[in-house]
Amino acid sequence: MSLSQASEIVHVPDDVNEILDVFPEGSLTVILRAKNEMDSRLGGNKVAVRVVSNRKAKKLLSRTGPLTATSANVSGQEPLLDCVEAAESLRGAEESIVGVDGVCEGGPPSTLIAWHTVWDSPESSSIEVIREGKISSEEVLSWWKSRI
């Protein structure tokens, strides 16, 4: 999704625009405060947002608007690259799945950052790298320190 699409569902502070301009598209996922509470599987009032880099995904999102989805893996486990296996691993006992047959490219995941605006304390002005991925924690925190 684009940041303008994301702003339909989350509060996007100006400094999020800044960091996303510095690092490559798709390399960062930023947890932001939702405008309206969402399903708990999507984060409730704290929603992870990623601006995609894939050309086909961008085209799809330009037609559908923002897409909300859970990650393709159980938190803390390695992502599954086979689409059907990933759907099966996330399926609830009473749910059926309709999978798209395919395999993802793989590689490191996006770096997941909890933005300072998601903290319950308004005094918090720091960000936290939750999961290191394509961009190292050092790079992210160095960028953050250079702007404060």
Domain boundaries, the chain: 3-70+109-147
pLDDT of 1 reads: 62
Per-residue confidence (pLDDT) for residue 122, from 0 to 100: 55
The phi, psi pair for 126, rounded to 5°, reads: -110, 165
* 148 residues of the chain, pLDDT tens digit each: 677 888 888 899 888 889 999 999 889 999 898 899 887 777 788 888 888 888 888 898 889 887 777 667 777 777 788 888 888 887 777 877 776 778 877 778 889 998 887 766 555 568 889 989 999 999 999 999 888 7
Length of the chain (residues):
148
pLDDT of amino acid 104: 79
The Cα 127–Cα 41 span in angstroms is 22
CA–CA distance, 49 with 75 (Å, rounded to integer): 16
Instruction: Give the pLDDT confidence score for residue 38 in this predicted structure.
Output: 83
DSSP class per residue in 65-107: -------SS-TTSPPP-BHHHHHHHH--TT----PPP-B----
Distance CA 133, CA 83 (A): 20
pTM: 0.79
